[in-house]
A and B are shown apart, each in its own frame.
Chain A
Amino acid sequence: MTDLVDERLAAAARRWQVEQPPPPGVPLDRLDERPPRRPWRRAALAAAAAVVVVGGGAAAVAGLGSDGASPAGPSGPPPVTVTVHGRAFGAVPWRDLEAGHPHVRHHEHGHVVTPYDHVSATGRIVGRVRPGDVLVFTAVLESATTLRLDPCPDYDVGFGPDAFYQWRLNCAQVPFRDAQGHPVLPAGRPVRFEMRIRVPDAHGRQKVLWTLDGPWSMPGFYGMVHVR
């Protein structure tokens, strides 16, 4: 007797499998990494490293190479003793995605507009870091209306007066999709994106500025970090 539930399960599983993104590679450069510590140990280490961790958009310092990708920054950084497993939990993970420079600006009634003109970007960056550290924080994007992230926008990060980086948002891993399967910012629901940046060779108080690329309004935020 044909089991229709069996067929339905097999069909659903096949569809689901096809829709899955390809598996990640073996993180050869992370294999020597220590596993994530228990929360209380992570907190103790963070305190010892004098890293200020705040709620909402949080900033923390990660050990070098704690991600498969390599955040941009100066080559040959000094060894880092901080072993905090820098992970912005609950955020769309950071990926080293080259800026796509999408054409998002167009004219409408004599004005230059972009799909992202009404997106708000918030976050908080604060802490003590050292050159070569990887600064981890979250950028929170929110839109009053459901907004398709197509094309996927770029963002800029300035660190102090001299360092400037540009990447593309990790839209592919945004956990919200419209009916066509495109990633979206859902109406009124903040979406957190993990950000990573290698601290350049600078000293003293430095301004870190995050902006969404494209809109004239340049939605973004900034914070001050102390580089020792």
Chain B
Amino acid sequence: MTERGALAEFARWVQPHLTTLSRYAGRHVPAADRDDVVQEALIRAWQRWSTYDPSRGTPAAWLLGILADRCRRQRTRRPAAVVELVDHGAQPEPTYDVDLERAIAALPRRQRAAVELHYFVGLDMATTAEVMGCAPGTVKATLHQARARLRDLMGDDDD
């Protein structure tokens, strides 16, 4: 296959997952960096594409693994002043559920990851489990615990 043909095939291969990747990045880096981080991850994915093994996981989980690494790097390489600029300055959207977002931020890491992946990124239970490296049943249990914790954190106002 020619280089151009391989590029086109790669583009077709990742196209169905772009929304998922963007949502994940949107939850993990400031809005201004979202597109850059996604594109960096796609460049990385292209460079490693030959190593992708379908028997070891779905394309979505593989791509999200690469993206998660780029998000981590992005967070660590941003100067502190910039973090302040973005995080403190962004005004809540009119529909922003402040209480819920605060409560999600206060969840233990695994519970927060399950909530982010399943609800906000929009992954099904199986893919969430694959990304988190556990069984679907474990994800269900983690989500159950997360919802219970959220209920506590939000002061039982939903009961």
Where the two chains meet, the residues of A that have a C-beta atom closer than 8 Å to any C-beta of B are 3-6, 8-13, 15-17, 19-20, 22-28, 30-31, 33, 35-36, 39, 68, 87, 89-93, 173-181, 184, 186, 189-192
Q: How far does the alpha carbon of A68 sit from the alpha carbon of B44 in the complex, in Å?
A: 15
Interface residue stretch chosen among B51-59, B90-98, B124-132: B90-98
Across the interface, do A90 and B39 meet the contact criterion of CB distance under 8 Å? no
Across the interface, do B43 and A12 meet the contact criterion of CB distance under 8 Å? no
A3-B147, A20-B23, A93-B32 are known contacts. Are A36 and B40 too (CB-CB below 8 A)? yes
* 18 residue pairs from A and B, CB less than 8 Å apart: A4-B159, A12-B101, A13-B119, A13-B120, A23-B19, A23-B21, A26-B14, A26-B15, A31-B43, A31-B47, A35-B40, A87-B36, A90-B81, A173-B35, A175-B32, A175-B90, A177-B90, A189-B89
Across the interface, do B35 and A93 meet the contact criterion of CB distance under 8 Å? yes
Across the interface, do B38 and A23 meet the contact criterion of CB distance under 8 Å? yes
A215 nearest CB across to chain B (Å): 23
Across the interface, do B122 and A5 meet the contact criterion of CB distance under 8 Å? no
CB < 8 Å neighbour of A181 from B21, B43, B93, B120: B93
Q: A3-B147, A15-B97 provided; 8 other pairs, C-beta below 8 A?
A: A6-B147, A15-B95, A25-B18, A31-B46, A35-B47, A177-B91, A186-B89, A190-B85
Across the interface, do A23 and B22 meet the contact criterion of CB distance under 8 Å? yes
Q: How far does the alpha carbon of A77 sit from the alpha carbon of B43 in the complex, in Å?
A: 24
B117-154 interface bits toward A, Cβ cutoff 8 Å, 1 = contact, 0 = none: 00110100000000000000000000000010011001
Q: How far does the alpha carbon of A87 sit from the alpha carbon of B36 in the complex, in Å?
A: 10
A3-B147, A20-B23, A179-B91 are known contacts. Are A33 and B43 too (CB-CB below 8 A)? yes
Q: How far does the alpha carbon of A33 sit from the alpha carbon of B21 in the complex, in Å?
A: 20
A76 nearest CB across to chain B (Å): 21
CB < 8 Å neighbour of A28 from B7, B23, B90, B119: B7
A181 nearest CB across to chain B (Å): 6
CB < 8 Å neighbour of B85 from A26, A39, A90, A178: A90
B142 nearest CB across to chain A (Å): 13
Q: How far does the alpha carbon of A3 sit from the alpha carbon of B36 in the complex, in Å?
A: 37
A174 nearest CB across to chain B (Å): 8
* Residues of chain B with a CB closer than 8 A to A186's CB: 89
Q: How far does the alpha carbon of A13 sit from the alpha carbon of B151 in the complex, in Å?
A: 17
Confirm or deny: B65 has a beta carbon within 8 angstroms of a beta carbon on chain A: no
